[in-house]
Amino acid sequence: MHRLITSNRNKVILFLLVDVSVIVLSLFAALLLRFDFMIPPGFIGEFAYLIPIIIVTKLASYTLYRLYKGMFRFTSLWDVANILKANAIASVGIILGFGFFHGFAGFPRSLFLIDFVISTLGISLSRVSVRIYFSHFVSDAKQARYRGASDQKKTRLILIGAGRTGEKIAREILTTPHIGYQIVGFMDDDKRKKGATLHGVRVLGQISDAGSLPVEFDEFLITAPSATGAEMRSIVEKCKQAGKPYKTVPSLPEIINDNVSLKMIREVSYVDLLGRDEIQLDTKSITEFMKGKRILVTGAGGSIGSELVRQCFQFDPAGVILFDNSEYNLFQIQQEISNIEHKPFTNIVLGSVRDKATIENLLRDYKPHVILHAAAYKHVPLQESHPWEAVNTNVLGTKNLIDAAVAHEVEKFVLVSTDKAVHPVNVMGATKRLAEIMVQVANRMGKTSFMAVRFGNVLGSSGSVIPIFEKQIKTGGPVKITHPDMIRYFMSIPEAAQLILQASSMPQGRGKIYVLDMGKPVKIKDMAFDLIRLSGLEPEKDIPIVYTGTRPGEKLYEELAFDGEILSKTEHGKIMILKNGGATYEDWTHLSSDLDRLGSLSVSFDSGRIKQSLMEIIPEYKPTDSSILKSPKIKEDHPFTA
């Protein structure tokens, strides 16, 4: 029977025969029930000619609702709902046809209603029985084969969280016996669930009972993606007290389309302890904005750019063009997306936004409707010592894209900006502030709608402090912190990318700067201490702490808006808009002239002159060290210069 059901052609034939049998039996059962098991003599003979018509009508309706296309071993409520709809449509058609051609004189109408109920139950039972067969009998047989020595190798899990995610993970483990996991119990803080069973596995108690569970187990698996930061900290602490290792599934912003599986199990990270709220995306407006359009993502191999690519795939664009100057990063994202089924047209383009000819060729060939501009240099100390590179990429590269977007009448241009653009004290922040001004002024010269999205640090991005701390912890320390009072805004990469797309879809965005709600700022010192404790160690006891002082261009805290800017709420709770964050330039010609002058200075490699020019263009740029304005050219300061 197993082979018969798993063969696709045989499966359809088998279920056609089953359905015909159910249809005939349900009609006979309906007759028996209608006439109290005393069918009038001759009635069946008069009714017999209708049976082939009823069979054909119902099978046609079942085919219309694709009842023979599903994988019956995974029959769900969705499939049962389709069975209900198919039988309802067939019964209505039969009643209307019978009434029109035959009439109901002397014929019981209730017969069709009884038949509808019985046939729906019968067809549903035939599908559900297949799922029961595979999930219990076949699964049990497989488990028997893996029993014995293999059972000893299985990791015995306690799942923390008996909700939807816990149910999905449990179901996958139970139906995949060779996976290497065995569930021995659930834990959940909902007192009503204690003693209940989920897929035959008992809820043993609350999370506070972690250290006194009545079963032997090897590991905790936290299946509570909606847990807040405080809740995750408490859960982790209870797991540590129990002396058992623990892992988790991704947080809600990381889960795309609510799809979670065993492949996504990972170590608990700082993202989990940050505990961001679930993002409620208006997927309809994003789909309307992106559907059928060609999307160009610059910096597509970077942290934000690659996540924008992944998120774009969810909203049915006509194509996504990935543009980056890093061959390695492009190769990495290309390998990743090559495994995605049913993705839109994609193309990988290697090049730099600094090359005007490359940009012109790119837009001419692919004619994008939307540009998501994430390409930028972002490392503050490096850009502080190489300001010409920041100018050439963050400023002149953006100018190249703007000019090409206007010339090719791109619909929308979205600049990915940073909180370092507010009251900038470093070159990186100054160049990103100038890029914001550029996209605002650019709105006055063409059909393209330009906008910017400003937000703070993202966890796990290239250059992020977290992997640096983790490496220092792994080697036994010391963990180096620049200043004990330094604070930053943080959000996860998926959260940032989702909100960028949400802001991009807003119709009133032309010439505007959107600001993402970053939540509460986090002390870098607290972050380091949390990471040390996540490793099962104690800060300043097991791992020494060293304070190194702020680096060039750093300030103790970042801001999301200037003093005179007013943040106003939008229809999305996580996105705000600047009401009076206007640019200081009246027209693109004037700004373009200053940008060309800045560009000519960049080839001089003179840090002081470049920064002085940035101060003239951006009055709010206040470098932290005035001595930098007197710094020599790089060639005069080079150790190998004769």
Q: Are 361 and 447 in a shared domain? A: yes
Is residue 267's pLDDT more than 60?
yes
Contact residues for 639 (Cβ-Cβ < 8 A; gap 6+): none
Q: Is the pLDDT of residue 174 over 90?
A: no
Rounded to the nearest integer, the mean pLDDT of the chain is 81
- What is the pLDDT confidence band of residue 126, given thresholds at 50, 70 and 90? confident
Helices 50-64 and 8-34 cross at an angle (nearest 10°) of 130
Give the tokens for residue 549.
Answer: 């002082």
Tell me which amino acid residue 575 is: I
Choose from 17-21, 238-242, 277-281, 325-329 the range with maximum mean pLDDT: 325-329
CB of 544 closer than 8 Å to CB of 479: yes
Checking if the pLDDT of 140 tops 70, the result is no
Give the 3-state secondary structure of residue 294: strand
Q: Judge whether 265 and 247 are in contact, CB under 8 Å.
A: yes
Mean pLDDT lowest among 65-69, 436-440, 491-495? 65-69
Say if residue 100 is in the same domain as residue 193.
no
132 and 163 share one domain: no
Is 504 contained in some domain?
yes
Give the DSSP H/E element, type plus range, for residue 303: helix 303-312
- Per-residue model confidence (pLDDT) at position 352: 95
Residue whose C-alpha is closest to residue 339's, from 251, 263, 419: 263
Determine the distance from the C-alpha atom of residue 117 to the mean position of all C-alpha atoms in its chain, rounded to a whole number: 42
Helix (H) or strand (E) holding 451: strand 449-455
Would you state the pLDDT for residue 260? 62
Judgement on whether residues 339 and 304 belong to the same structural domain of the protein: yes
| 545-547 and 412-418 beta bridge pairing | unpaired
Give the integer Cα–Cα distance in Å for 544 and 480. Answer: 9
Mean pLDDT of 91-100: 81
Tokens linked to 225: 């993606």
Instruction: Identify the domain boundary among 146, 179, 206.
Output: 146
CB 31 within 8 A of CB 92: no
Regarding whether 124 and 26 lie in a shared domain, the answer is yes
Q: Is 142 a catalytic residue?
A: no
Residue 186 phi/psi, 5° resolution? -115, 160
Are both 225 and 187 inside the same structural domain?
yes
Of the three residues 255, 274, 293, the one that is the final residue of a domain is 274
- Alpha carbon distance, N-terminus to C-terminus of the chain: 86
Query: What's the whole-number mean pLDDT along residues 388-406?
Result: 95
Q: In this structure, are residues 221 and 162 in contact, taking their beta carbons and an 8 Å threshold? A: no
Q: How confident is the model at residue 629, as a pLDDT?
A: 42
Query: Percent of the chain having pLDDT more than 90?
Result: 21
| Inside any domain, residue 540 | no
Q: What is the pLDDT of residues 2-57, one digit of tens each?
A: 554 445 567 778 878 888 888 888 888 887 887 777 777 766 666 677 788 888 88
Look up the CATH number of the domain holding residue 207: 3.40.50.720
Note whether residue 641 is domain-resident: no
* DSSP states of 26-71: HHHHHHHHHTTT-PPTTHHHHHTTHHHHHHHHHHHHHHHTTTTTS-
Q: Which pLDDT belongs to residue 632?
A: 37
Same domain assignment for residues 139 and 196: no
Q: Is the pLDDT of residue 577 over 90?
A: no
C-alpha to C-alpha distances, 520 to 7, 148, 515, nearest whole angstrom: 56, 52, 14
Q: State the Cα–Cα distance between residues 322 and 349, nearest whole angstrom.
A: 6
Query: Could you list the residue range(s) of the whole structural domain that residue 373 is in?
Result: 283-458+493-518+567-627
Task: Indicate whether 28 and 141 sit together in one domain.
Answer: yes
Q: In terms of domains, do 292 and 225 share one?
A: no
Read off the DSSP letter of residue 256. G
DSSP element (H, E) containing 81: helix 77-101
Letter for the amino acid at 21?
S
CA-to-CA distance for 535 and 544, rounded, in angstroms? 14
Asked, for residue 635, whether it belongs to a domain, the answer is no
What span, in angstroms and rounded, lies between the C-alpha atoms of 261 and 179?
12
The residue among 274, 309, 337 that closes a domain is 274
Domain count, the chain: 3
Q: Go through 57-70 and write b for each residue having 16 or more CB atoms within 10 A of its CB, e for each that does not.
A: bbbebbeebebbeb
Mean pLDDT confidence for 534-540: 82
Same domain, 336 and 245: no
Q: Name the active-site residue from 412, 420, 432, 574.
A: 420
Q: Are 30 and 114 in contact (CB under 8 A)?
A: yes
Which of 36-40, 389-393, 407-411, 574-578 is the least confident region?
A: 36-40
Answer whether 487's CB lies under 8 Å from 522's CB. Answer: yes
For the residues 448-461, what does the mean pLDDT come to?
A: 84
CA 137 and chain centroid, separation:
36
The predicted structure's pLDDT at residue 453: 92
In contact, 449 and 413? CB cutoff 8 Å: yes
Tell me the C-alpha to C-alpha distance, in Å, between residue 163 and each of 190, 198, 396, 458: 10, 9, 51, 29
What's the whole-number mean pLDDT along residues 221-233?
A: 82
Instruction: Tell me, yes or no, whether 552 lies in a domain.
Output: no
**Residue 542 is assigned to a structural domain of this protein:** no
Q: Which amino acid is at 233?
A: R
Q: Give the pLDDT mean for 195-216.
A: 85
Q: Considering the domain boundaries, does residue 464 fall inside one?
A: no
Domain-located, residue 488: no
Residue with tokens 């943040």: 567
Check whether 246 has a pLDDT greater than 70: yes
- 116 and 182 part of one domain: no
Contact present, 450 and 510 (Cβ < 8 Å): yes
Verify that 162 and 135 share a domain, yes or no. no
